[in-house]
Chain A
Amino acid sequence: ETGVTQTPRHLVMGMTNKKSLKCEQHLGHNAMYWYKQSAKKPLELMFVYSLEERVENNSVPSRFSPECPNSSHLFLHLHTLQPEDSALYLCASSQKREGGPDTQYFGPGTRLTVL
């Protein structure tokens, strides 16, 4: 069973709404990630919070805004989204270490539909 939880699991919103996605990891990891998964496309990394630093993909529109209040919680705030933003949004966590790869553990995702 995954130690990463996400809420809500499904979300339908209009283009003028504001909503937030929540992620919580119970694994004691020091890094958290937001990914966008669209059908038949590679996972797209949106944001990384690692050791209190934020790294973002410059191609992510400003209508997506992350927040990481502590190492266990991660939010993705959504506002004025477009229909093409409809996708599965996955949260992941990992234990980053110097000079080595880290295995990412994923939550079940939020299926977002923008009308």
Chain B
Amino acid sequence: GQNIDQPTEMTATEGAIVQINCTYQTSGFNGLFWYQQHAGEAPTFLSYNVLDGLEEKGRFSSFLSRSKGYSYLLLKELQMKDSASYLCAATDSNYQLIWGAGTKLIIKP
């Protein structure tokens, strides 16, 4: 079957770095998305990876290893506004999105 695993909740300190992991099992693979969702708001697109390696966008970076079925989202210089849920979604051979349950990130001062 198709499956996405990510931690349910993580806590980090303002100004620190946090890494949110995601492992996936899909029928075929056509890339992986990360979304951010603040409580009561729409999920917003953060990144898309289809090739192995690290892609950096300001304070946020996303990494993919296709051979390991693994991705992570790296958040640097954490700010209180980064408190949100982070959703991982893999694209299968039919370009359907397979979603994880999301990781709730709590930032403490």
Chain A residues within 8 Å of B, Cβ to Cβ: 2, 4, 40-43, 45, 90, 100-109, 111
Q: How far is the CB of B34 from chain A (nearest CB, A)?
A: 11
> What distance in Å separates the Cβ of B49 from its nearest Cβ neighbour in chain A?
11
Stretch in B52-60, B63-71, B96-104 touching the partner: B96-104
29 contacts between A and B (CB under 8 A): A2-B44, A41-B101, A42-B4, A42-B99, A42-B101, A43-B87, A43-B89, A43-B97, A43-B99, A45-B96, A45-B97, A90-B42, A100-B30, A100-B95, A101-B30, A101-B31, A101-B48, A104-B97, A105-B45, A106-B35, A106-B43, A106-B44, A107-B42, A108-B41, A108-B42, A109-B40, A109-B41, A109-B42, A111-B40
**Interface majority SS on A: helix, strand, loop or mixed?**
loop
Total B residues in contact with A, Cβ cutoff 8 Å = 25
The 7 closest A-B pairs by CB, nearest first: A42-B99, A106-B42, A43-B99, A108-B42, A106-B43, A101-B91, A42-B101
Residue B8 at the chain A interface, CB threshold 8 Å: yes
Enumerate chain B residues within 8 angstroms of A108, measured Cβ to Cβ: 40-42
Complex Cα distance, B96 from A102, in Å, reads 10
Name B residues whose Cβ lies closer than 8 Å to a Cβ of A: 4, 8, 30-31, 33, 35, 40-45, 48, 50, 87, 89, 91, 95-102
Name, among B8, B42, B50, B101, the residue most crowded by chain A CB atoms within 10 Å (CB to CB). Answer: B42
In the complex formed, the residue of B with least CB distance to A109 is B42
Minimum distance in angstroms from A103 CB to a CB of chain B? 5
Alpha-carbon distance A111/B50, docked complex (angstroms)? 33
Q: How far is the CB of A44 from chain B (nearest CB, A)?
A: 8
